[in-house]
């Protein structure tokens, strides 16, 4: 992949202040549950140039938006809900819409507004309901309801009721009488109903903790008892005269977890029936639960603490009694966790598993006895996309020939083995799809490393483009006019012969007879992949640094989320830090042998979060190879991170304590000889600032000099606060320029 231009040079201000290289994306599109029409939020005519307001977090408030509908075949646009309909009585402004949901018969629309952050997402806010038959718009809750305190609100399937969580209890409001009933009343500082603690939300990617039964008569929900999980305290020194302290139940490696259980509560008579899962709750996880495509059974997944066994149960909705269906088991850890997708006959469901060594989609009978691989082959399915039962097709994402890219494929639902790529070959790079319920239409987005995303409305399976929703042509032209060298995707071998994939960007006016310093970007953890052929703002920063005379590179070590099979991902079990660092060292050695123009005495490395940790590991373990590092938000001691994530990949502390010590960067901090810049946000609820302070103590003990920047009250992403992104990237750029550009 080569691109030569001689043109414009860019600055951090262009990227992170003016945001000139941030791509535009079409508004959120929502396909209907049936057919192929879709709805979207769009600014009303006459308000296109209205000045945006900001909320208290500095986020844009989207005002003057209407809900519109499109017929994909004709692109006929219909305004479904106007600003007037969204304007409460007595107000002169329409509700700003954070999200919206339709009732099943589309006679009601649920408006989510005035949303506030809970950790990373705005999951707490207010709900209004609009009756389209009479334009009656009213705020859910009652006069006692506090503003912006409802969470995860949703209509019952029959559209007669609205359920939500508030202050850790679950409530139902009848939409006709407007009467509110508390379904749970036992919430406390340690008992939470219908939502999750920090660790479950972060590591199991689950926030909404209750499910309506298909007949609207019951709700199944999670209850978490957090009393055994110790609190971690986040100190905010910036916003008030005296520090504000936030306590988060946060189970670290080896500590006691929150206990989770499943309750089923009838709406008519709200007395919870508890599901009788085996084991001690705080020593087990219940990461998934859903109604089993009927109103009589719930399908529950229960994992052991080691996370090598996932037992699937049915629970009787009347009694709470369970019966096992099947078990997923690995020698190391399970890394696939999703709800089943039921087929229309309710007698089978689709299930993702790595049981044959690759991530595949299986069709499993309701009793768990019949298992059919629908995507056979030596490749990973990266995403389940949709099902077209009428025409016997399953749609999924994969890239068997190039793990840096993603393409839409389809295979037969009956397991006959027929499989084909749907994405045309000319759409090289990373493709994504939002497909209609009948799988006949999709919003398709494609981008590559140097090409911003293009989003189009397409028909399927012919993949014909009917309308370009956003082409980012202006941005693509700006990228094309940049001064830029060539980009190459390559592979090298680790010391045991394993292929390691990488990319390299060379400076403009590159001369292979010269020597160039190199900046190496790393991540390395099992939940990320850096070598991707996809557009990102990090790529633009890399272009800027290449313009300053640096080679830019990245390599995925073993264990990362590249779609290279189960063995690729599992080999790091119990040895996350050392193996990743060794692969990065091997890759750099191989690169230096292949390309004489790399100045291997001027090697920089940087990363964020897991990449910050890997930066420390290569700087401390291979100081002769890596000379300048920028470590952002690292985990210097693996025992300080949360139990769910770290124990999954590093093993239980009781079995692997020696490995935890050896694998932690802090153990090897005394070996630092290069220049190190440590960066951390003091308000980081994910990777705690605590770890960076412990590392500082270790470096000080051994008289190892380093540079340090604390971002006051910033969380893990280091993006809060005016000017943070620009300041962070300017500092990072200057550090490499100052310490690597000196021959």
pLDDT at position 42 is 87
pLDDT tens per residue across span 88-114? 999 989 999 999 999 998 899 999 999
Whole-structure pTM value:
0.95
Residue 556 near residue 503 (C-beta atoms within 8 A): no
- Give the whole-angstrom CA distance, residue 333 versus residue 329: 8
More confident residue, 73 or 458: 458
Maximum C-alpha span of the chain: 80
Residue 398 near residue 407 (C-beta atoms within 8 A): yes
Domains of the chain and CATH, by start: 26-182 (no CATH), 183-339 (2.140.10.30), 477-740 (3.40.50.1820)
Measured in degrees and rounded to the nearest 5, phi and psi for residue 643 equal -65, -40
pLDDT at position 4 is 53
- Give the whole-angstrom CA distance, residue 636 versus residue 676: 14
pLDDT band per the 50, 70, 90 thresholds, residue 742: low
pLDDT at position 3 is 52
- Give the whole-angstrom CA distance, residue 643 versus residue 203: 9
For residue 393, pLDDT over 70 is answered with: yes
Average pLDDT over residues 149-154: 95
Which residue is associated with the tokens 């990072």? Answer: 732
Q: Which residues contact 251 (CB under 8 A, 6 or more apart)?
A: 199, 229, 230, 257, 258, 642, 643, 644
pLDDT band per the 50, 70, 90 thresholds, residue 117: confident
| 620 Rama class: left (phi>0) / alpha (psi -120 to 50) / beta | alpha
Residue 172 near residue 202 (C-beta atoms within 8 A): no
More confident residue, 116 or 520: 520
Give the three-state DSSP class for 373: strand
Residue 677 near residue 629 (C-beta atoms within 8 A): yes
For residue 5, pLDDT over 70 is answered with: no
For residue 43, pLDDT over 90 is answered with: no
Which residue is associated with the tokens 């016997």? Answer: 392
Average pLDDT over residues 262-286: 95
For residue 195, pLDDT over 70 is answered with: yes
For residue 18, pLDDT over 90 is answered with: yes
- Give the whole-angstrom CA distance, residue 310 versus residue 303: 4
Cis peptide upstream of residue 461 (ω within 30 degrees of 0): yes
User: What's the full length of the chain, in residues?
Assistant: 743
pLDDT at position 2 is 45
pLDDT at position 35 is 67
What angle (nearest 5°) sits at the alpha carbon of residue 114, between those of residues 113 and 120?
A: 100
pLDDT at position 1 is 41
User: Distances in Å between the alpha carbon of 172 and those of 115, 163, 165?
Assistant: 20, 4, 9
For residue 300, pLDDT over 60 is answered with: yes
Average pLDDT, the chain: 94
- Give the whole-angstrom CA distance, residue 336 versus residue 561: 11
For residue 52, pLDDT over 80 is answered with: no
pLDDT at position 743 is 53
Which residue is associated with the tokens 């909320």? Answer: 55
Partner residues linked to 180 by β-bridges: 173
- DSSP state, residue 22: P
Which residue is associated with the tokens 């007669």? Answer: 160
The closest alpha carbon to 377, from 359, 364, 395, belongs to 359
- Give the whole-angstrom CA distance, residue 672 versus residue 662: 16
Cα torsion through 120, 124, 125, 131, rounded to 10: 110
Cα torsion through 325, 326, 332, 334, rounded to 10: -60
pLDDT tens per residue across span 538-554? 999 999 999 999 999 99
The closest alpha carbon to 318, from 240, 193, 424, 215, belongs to 215
């Amino acid at each position: 992949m080569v691109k030569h231009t001689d043109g414009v040079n860019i600055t951090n201000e262009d990227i992170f202040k003016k945001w000139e290289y941030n791509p535009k994306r079409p508004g959120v599109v929502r396909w209907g549950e049936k057919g192929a029409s879709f709805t979207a939020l769009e600014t009303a005519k006459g308000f296109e140039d209205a000045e945006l307001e900001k909320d208290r977090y500095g986020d844009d408030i989207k005002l003057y938006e209407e809900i519109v509908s499109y017929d994909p075949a004709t692109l006929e646009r219909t305004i479904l809900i106007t600003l007037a309909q969204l304007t409460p009585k007595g107000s002169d402004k329409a509700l700003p819409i954070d999200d919206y949901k339709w009732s099943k018969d589309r006679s009601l629309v649920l408006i989510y507004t005035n949303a506030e952050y809970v950790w990373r997402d705005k999951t707490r806010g207010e709900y209004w309901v609009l009756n389209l038959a009479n334009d009656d718009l009213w705020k859910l809750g009652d006069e006692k309801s506090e503003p912006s305190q409802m969470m995860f609100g949703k209509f019952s399937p029959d559209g007669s009721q609205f359920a939500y969580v508030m202050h850790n209890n679950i409530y139902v409001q009848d939409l006709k009488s407007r009467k509110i009933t508390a379904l749970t009343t036992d919430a406390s500082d340690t008992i939470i109903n219908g939502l999750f603690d920090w660790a479950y939300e972060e590591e199991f990617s689950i926030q909404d903790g209750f499910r309506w039964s298909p007949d609207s008569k019951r709700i199944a929900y999670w209850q978490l008892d957090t009393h055994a999980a110790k609190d971690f305290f986040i100190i905010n020194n910036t916003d008030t005269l005296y520090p504000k302290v936030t306590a988060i139940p946060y189970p670290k490696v080896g500590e006691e977890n929150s206990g989770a259980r499943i309750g089923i509560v009838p709406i008519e008579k709200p007395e919870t029936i508890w599901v009788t899962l085996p084991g001690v709750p705080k020593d087990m996880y219940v990461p998934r639960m859903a109604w089993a495509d009927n109103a009589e059974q719930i399908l529950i997944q229960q994992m052991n603490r080691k996370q090598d066994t996932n037992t699937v149960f049915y629970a009787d909705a009347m009694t709470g009694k369970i019966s096992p269906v099947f078990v997923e088991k690995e020698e190391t850890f399970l890394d696939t966790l999703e709800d089943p997708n039921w087929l229309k006959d309710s007698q089978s469901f689709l299930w993702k598993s790595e049981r044959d060594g690759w991530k595949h989609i299986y069709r499993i009978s309701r009793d768990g006895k019949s298992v059919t691989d629908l995507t056979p082959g030596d490749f990973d399915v990266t995403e389940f996309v949709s099902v077209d039962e009428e025409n016997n097709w399953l749609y999924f994402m994969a890239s068997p020939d190039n793990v840096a890219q993603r393409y839409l494929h389809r295979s037969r639902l009956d397991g006959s083995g027929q499989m084909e790529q749907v994405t045309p070959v000319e759409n090289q790079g990373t493709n994504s799809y939002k497909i209609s319920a009948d799988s006949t239409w999709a919003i398709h987005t494609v981008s590559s490393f140097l090409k911003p995303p293009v989003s189009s409305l397409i028909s399927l399976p012919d993949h014909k483009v009917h309308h370009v929703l956003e082409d980012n042509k202006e941005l693509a032209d700006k990228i094309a006019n940049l001064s830029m060298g060539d980009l190459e995707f390559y592979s090298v071998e680790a010391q045991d012969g394993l292929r390691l994939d990488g990319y390299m960007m060379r400076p403009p006016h590159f001369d292979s007879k010269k020597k160039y310093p190199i900046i190496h970007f790393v991540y390395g953890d099992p939940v990320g992949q850096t070598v991707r052929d996809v557009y990102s703002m990090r790529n633009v920063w890399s272009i800027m640094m290449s313009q300053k005379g640096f080679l830019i590179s990245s390599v995925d070590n073993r264990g990362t989320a590249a779609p290279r099979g189960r063995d690729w991902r599992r080999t790091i079990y119990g040895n996350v830090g050392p193996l990743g660092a060794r692969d990065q060292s091997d890759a750099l050695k191989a690169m230096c042998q292949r390309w004489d123009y790399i100045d291997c005495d001027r090697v920089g490395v940087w990363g964020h979060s897991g990449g910050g940790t890997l930066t420390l590991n290569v700087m401390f373990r291979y100081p002769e190879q890596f000379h300048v590092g920028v470590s952002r938000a690292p985990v210097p001691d693996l025992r300080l991170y949360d139990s769910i994530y770290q124990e999954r990949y590093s093993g239980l502390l009781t079995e692997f304590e020696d490995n935890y010590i050896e694998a932690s960067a802090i153990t090897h901090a005394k070996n630092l000889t290069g220049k190190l810049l440590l960066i951390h946000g003091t308000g980081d609820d994910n990777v705690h600032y605590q770890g960076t302070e412990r590392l500082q103590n270790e470096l000080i003990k051994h008289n190892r000099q380093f540079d340090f920047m604390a971002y006051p009250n910033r969380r893990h992403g280091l993006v809060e606060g005016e000017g943070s992104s620009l300041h962070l990237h300017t500092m990072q750029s200057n550090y490499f320029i100052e310490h690597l550009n000196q021959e």
